[in-house]
Amino acid sequence: MENYDVVLDFFAKSDKPVRAGEVVKATGLEKKDVDKVMKELKKEEKIVSPKACFWEIKK
């Protein structure tokens, strides 16, 4: 599974908004890889920020 799919799957299964650091811990990916994927997901509007520094899948 690609990094993109791993991060997107994590957000899809998360029941609350999370910080990027939590994604890193849960997926085992490097922070730079998670940041890169999150930037892409933001651009595609697949994740949104309900409050500063927290992200969740767009519903």
Write the pLDDT tens digit of every residue in 10-50: 999 999 999 999 999 999 999 999 999 999 999 999 999 99
- Record the tokens describing residue 37, joined without a space: 């994927």
DSSP symbol at 56: E
- The pLDDT value recorded for residue 1 is 72
- The pLDDT value recorded for residue 19 is 97
pTM of the model: 0.92
- The pLDDT value recorded for residue 3 is 97
**Triad 33, 7, 28: Cα angle to 5°:** 65
- The pLDDT value recorded for residue 59 is 84
- What 3-state DSSP class applies to 17? coil
Is the CATH code 1.10.10.10 the one for domain 3-57? yes
